[in-house]
Amino acid sequence: MEKIFGKHSVRAVFLTRPDDIRRMVIAGKIEYHKEFIDLARRNGINYEFLSWPEFRRLGEFEEHDKHQGILILVKPRPTYNEKDLDLLKTGRCIFAVDQISNPQNFATIIRSAAFFGVDGIITTRNRAADLSQTVVRYAVGGAEFVKVFTVINLSRTLNELKSMGFWAYGLDERGQKTLAETEFAEKTVFVVGAEGQGLRRKTRINCDELVRIPGGIKGVESLNAAVAASIAMSEIFRLK
């Protein structure tokens, strides 16, 4: 069973897959958890109150975890890979991340993708953060709203998506057009590389078009990967 805690994350599971919840555990005052007690009752989910020491022991929390006195035990979310790409056929916007290894950056991208309604996120199996408990925690519920696909070969995956009618854009400082100057295709897959390294050569050459974010000064030539991805999402959805 997967342990999910904190009000935002628990609420997201109730909204997307309540049937997967097996148990809800609460600590603290009843009135503080009224919303979740009502949700549990409506969905026929068992819940119980524990003392703070029992709650912390069950959750195995780290000192900085913001659990807010609520924890659910839930079936693990579905996992997706290359064989499941057909699920994206009807999508309009996909984001791919090229070997982004920092869990917080990956989580921020997932959270932003959920906010903007991105249809799916594609990440690589090697040299990249996976959809771990840490990433799910940092995404604060976002992982419940967007499918994450883990693939072995990103270039091959881009070509498969292009065969489905997607146009691939890569974020690169060498792009001729800025985000604002770009007329994005109806079906868009947008690729962001790791901070510092950027897009790998093979990934770059398999993009149909390179675009850039204007700005940068000497000493601050690039943005954090998660910030860059979030800016791109905002601009794509504004222009669409």
**Tens of pLDDT along 19-39?**
999 999 999 998 999 999 999
Structure tokens at 7: 């009000």
Judged against a pLDDT cut of 80, whether residue 195 lies above it is answered with no
Pairing label, strands 209-212, 167-171: parallel
Residue range 172-184: average pLDDT? 92
Query: What mean pLDDT, rounded, does the chain reach?
Result: 93
* Packing angle of the helix pair 34-42, 7-16 (nearest 10 deg): 20
Q: Identify whether the C-beta of residue 63 lies closer than 8 Å to the C-beta of residue 133.
A: no
For residue 138, give Cα distances in angstroms to 67, 115, 197, 212, 231: 12, 14, 23, 27, 19
- The pLDDT, as a whole number, for residue 238 is 86
The pLDDT assigned to 64 comes to 78
Joined together, the tokens standing for residue 213 give 């974010």
Give the span between the Cα atoms of 117 and 103, in whole angstroms.
21
What value does the mean pLDDT take over residues 207-232? 86
Q: Which residues contact 182 (CB under 8 A, 6 or more apart)?
A: 169, 209, 211, 239
User: At residue 54, does pLDDT exceed 90?
Assistant: yes
Residue 98 pLDDT exceeds 90: yes
What's the pLDDT at 10? Answer: 96
pLDDT of 219 reads 61
- What confidence tier does 196 reach under pLDDT thresholds 50, 70, 90? confident
**pLDDT, average across residues 112-137:** 93
Q: Looking at residues 76-86, what average pLDDT do you find?
A: 95
Q: What CA–CA distance (Å, rounded) separates 119 from 113?
A: 8
Domain ranges of the chain: 2-74, 82-239
Q: Taking 80 as the threshold, does the pLDDT of residue 123 lie above it?
A: yes
Mean predicted confidence (pLDDT) in 202-231: 87
Q: pLDDT above 70 covers what percent of the chain? A: 98
Q: Could you give the strand order of the β-sheet that contains 2-5, starting from the edge strand earlier in sequence?
A: 2-5, 70-74, 21-26, 47-49
115-125: average pLDDT: 97
Banded model confidence at residue 221, pLDDT cuts 50, 70, 90: low
Q: For residue 62, count other CB atoms closer than 10 A to its CB.
A: 9
- The long-range contacts involving 41-45, CB below 8 angstroms and separated by at least 24 positions, are 43/14, 43/18, 43/19, 45/18, 45/21
User: Which CATH number applies to 82-239?
Assistant: 3.40.1280.10
Just give the CATH number of 2-74. Answer: 3.30.1330.30
Q: How far is CA 25 from CA 50, 59, 66, 143, 168, in A?
A: 7, 9, 15, 21, 44
CB 149 within 8 A of CB 160: no
What is the sign of the dihedral through the CA atoms of 50, 56, 58 and 64?
A: positive
pLDDT value, residue 116: 97
Per-residue pLDDT averaged across 32-50, rounded? 96
Which H, E and C letters describe 20-37, residue by residue? Answer: HEEEEEECCCHHHHHHHH
pLDDT band for 127, please (50, 70, 90 cuts): confident
Considering the entire predicted model, what is its pTM? Answer: 0.90
- C-alpha pair distances (Å), 88 with each of 73, 130, 153, 226: 29, 20, 17, 22
